[in-house]
Copies of this chain bind each other. A is one copy, B any other.
Amino acid sequence: MAILYCSNWGAPDAWQAAFRAEDPALEFRVWPKSGPVEEIDYILAWHHQPGVLRQYPRLKAIFSLGAGVEKLLRDKELPAGVPIVRMVDRALTTCMTEYVVLHVLRYHRRMPELEALQRSAQWVELETPPAWERRVGILGLGVLGSDAAKKLVGLGFQVAGWSNHAKRIAKVKSFTGERGLADILARSEILVCLLPLTAATTGVLNAQRFAQMRRGSFLINAARGGHVVESDLLAALDGGQLGHATLDVMAEEPLPPTHPFWRHPRITLTPHNASLTWPPTAAKHIVANIRRHEAGEPMSPLVDLAREY
């Protein structure tokens, strides 16, 4: 059985090692050196060259190496009927939750203010309430959002989430729909975006939504740059409607050196490193799916083309 690593980005070495460790019988090939196209059973796709995926006539499934599949789905020549499997990876989930918890705590504990006080050598004993007095909202309660929500509940925060369908997570208030979005924006002191990027969620963080948020509240975007209307965000920060924003993702990455985000006093930037797929654990997820598929069992989680994730 042959698996093809198909990417315009980065070296496949860590993936090759991880698959060898997980199942030495799997033949690991690296695009464009695919060998005979009819020998390729599975593809690992990450920033692949559009159009190439349909060149493999016996392809059984495509595995996305990232949690978000919006770039993969932009390929208008995907092979019809070949299932696409999203990445769910223990390391990816753990790291994203670390990121969310870190930046929620950073705002909760007023770190931007404390850092400014240190720079001017001022001792001011800023007080912060216990976590149970703080309302955190999470847009998107998939695998990543749900895990972050649970860990924030574990630290004592009042957590709410917004998702397409109502979710039942202990101590997490569930909101859905347009009315639910307005409600979660109005209640949250710290708002975290972990939505998939689809036609419906592109630009969801815009001037109208910022106006629905609490004055001076905080935004953490660890999803995709396309969720944010960047000029609206700058206006909301400059006008004080938002207190501060932490962005791991931007419309253009790497962020151009002249972009106003870099030196904005109310923006914390990270270079799209909130969470990376970790080959040793991710290979387990993929090999387990391959075994299920070969045994006639369903793979998971499958991309639904209609909902775009």
* CB contact under 8 A between A123 and B255, given known A91-B130, A102-B105, A102-B109: yes
Residues of B close to A272: CB separation below 8 A: 125
**Least Cβ distance of A188 to chain B in Å?**
18
Inter-chain contact B97/A127, CB cutoff 8 Å: no
CA distance A91 to B129 in the complex (A): 8
Residues of B close to A262: CB separation below 8 A: 118, 121
CA distance A131 to B92 in the complex (A): 11
CA distance A272 to B263 in the complex (A): 29
Contact of A105 among B105, B125, B254 (CB under 8 A): B105
Residues of B close to A115: CB separation below 8 A: 268
Report if A205 contacts B (CB, 8 A). no
Interface string of A258-295 (1 = CB under 8 A from B): 00001100001111110010100000000000000000
Contact of A155 among B101, B114, B121, B132 (CB under 8 A): B101
Residues of B close to A156: CB separation below 8 A: 94, 98
CA distance A109 to B108 in the complex (A): 18
* CB contact under 8 A between A273 and B128, given known A118-B262, A255-B123: yes
Inter-chain contact A106/B102, CB cutoff 8 Å: yes
Inter-chain contact A273/B126, CB cutoff 8 Å: yes
Interface string of A39-58 (1 = CB under 8 A from B): 00000000000000000000
Report if A31 contacts B (CB, 8 A). no
Inter-chain contact A94/B130, CB cutoff 8 Å: yes
**Least Cβ distance of A233 to chain B in Å?**
16
Residue in chain B with minimal CB distance to A134: B98
Inter-chain contact A125/B91, CB cutoff 8 Å: no
**Least Cβ distance of A144 to chain B in Å?**
14
